Amino acid sequence: MANKRDYYEVLGVDKKATEEEIKKAYRKKAKECHPDLHPGDKQAEERFKELNEANEVLSDPDKRARYDQFGFNDPTQGGNPFGGAGFDFSGMGDIFDTFFGGMGGMGSRRTSNAPVAGNDLRYELKITFEEAADGCEKSFDFYRLENCETCHGSGAKPGSQPSTCPTCNGQGQVRTSNGFMSMVRTCSNCNGTGKIIKDKCPDCGGSGRVRKKRTATIKIPAGIAHGQTIIQNGQGEPGRNGGPNGDLYVTISVRPHKLFKRDGYNLFIDFPISFTQAALGAEVDVPTLHGSVKYRIPEGTQNDTEFRIRGQGVQILRTSGKGDLIVRVHVEIPKKLTEKQKELLRQFDDTLTGHEYEGKKNFFDKLKEAFN
Ligand SMILES: [Zn+2]
Ligand SMILES: [Zn+2]
């Protein structure tokens, strides 16, 4: 760490280099000092490591920004900010595949016995609107690959053992040479496992894994929203060679409600009232998620007016507070009236002085001003 070279210097680029320039510089240098071109050359190997470390940082906008700010002493990263000696070659497969036409990738350079984390699994769980609002406990079945119990994951028939692959000597990889360049390929005899199974386990067919149905039970907190994910640690597929299990990601899908809409923790409802209720005012029963509440609509209520009923919304996640219920009033005008009803309305109209309809009055006042 003491005399580490500046990452920009390692790549031979300017501090203002674009992502594209960094990529280009990296590719060029990586070709020059790739260890496969310099077998046994310790210096080339060191340069290659240095180069990859520099690229790992400078090709990642976040890491690059931190490096620009803190150099090798990023306070948020402990003593060894950017990997340093512990640099990991994994994840570089694609780059080298594009260089060398699929040489198997540096990622597979790791030995076939290294611990590998199990795959994460995803599950979409549908719940009702009320279950999301109130919280619930749900059980569901899902499938995952597990180590075969019959052969304990070895893939070999009980009583037999997998043998070391003779083609790759258990390395999982073979090195071939096409004259000027040597390449590493995944061993085709053992598919990279380094082992050959002569007597296959009858239960898993030699794969060491079987598909099992499992039941998960999860607690869904009140107030969860559509699209949120609950992570069940360690419930994914088992790791290999002692690696950790993957996780199970349960994404919540909330079914829509027939009456209510939800925005954050507030609930919305469109509530129809008659035009006489709007004009005279009325006490109405407004539905909530739990029964109904009485609400007094004031006289002279206009169409689309929103009333807020506090605390009748959805419980706010991990608190005891609740959102509000917003009631949007829809004033309904009758479409069919009898002759008698029409006559009553005409009589009503005759009593008007012109000041009862504020909006109408303002409109005609403005109209007059505009054209005089
Ligand atoms: Zn092999
Ligand atoms: Zn088995």
DSSP string across 208-231: SEEEEEEEEEEEE-TT--TT-EEE
Residue 15 sits in the same domain as residue 128: no
Residue 125 sits in the same domain as residue 250: yes
- Looking at all shown ligands, the one closest to residue 170's CA atom is 1
Identify the CATH number of the domain in which residue 270 sits.
Answer: 2.60.260.20
| 179 alpha carbon – ligand 1 mean position (Å) | 23
- Looking at all shown ligands, the one closest to residue 167's CA atom is 1
- Looking at all shown ligands, the one closest to residue 207's CA atom is 2
| 162 alpha carbon – ligand 2 mean position (Å) | 12
Identify the CATH number of the domain in which residue 30 sits.
Answer: 1.10.287.110
pLDDT digits (tens, 9 = 90+) for 154-209: 899 999 988 999 999 988 888 887 777 778 888 899 888 888 998 999 999 988 89
Residue 239 sits in the same domain as residue 136: yes
- Looking at all shown ligands, the one closest to residue 200's CA atom is 2
Domain, as residue range, for 359: 260-370
CA distance 195 to 291: 65
| 121 alpha carbon – ligand 2 mean position (Å) | 22
| 212 alpha carbon – ligand 2 mean position (Å) | 13
Instruction: Among 238, 254, 270, give the residue marking a domain's end.
Output: 254
| 195 alpha carbon – ligand 2 mean position (Å) | 15
pLDDT score recorded for residue 74: 59
Is residue 106 one of the residues assigned to a domain?
no
pLDDT digits (tens, 9 = 90+) for 267-323: 999 999 999 999 999 999 999 999 999 999 999 999 999 999 999 999 998 888 999
Q: Is the pTM of this model over 0.85?
A: no
Residue 283 sits in the same domain as residue 346: yes
Q: Is 162 left (phi over 0), alpha (psi -120 to 50) or beta?
A: beta
| 184 alpha carbon – ligand 2 mean position (Å) | 30
| 211 alpha carbon – ligand 1 mean position (Å) | 26
Residue listed under structure tokens 């790992």 = 56
Number of compact structural domains in the chain: 3
Q: How many CA atoms lie within 13 A of 86 on its CB side?
A: 5
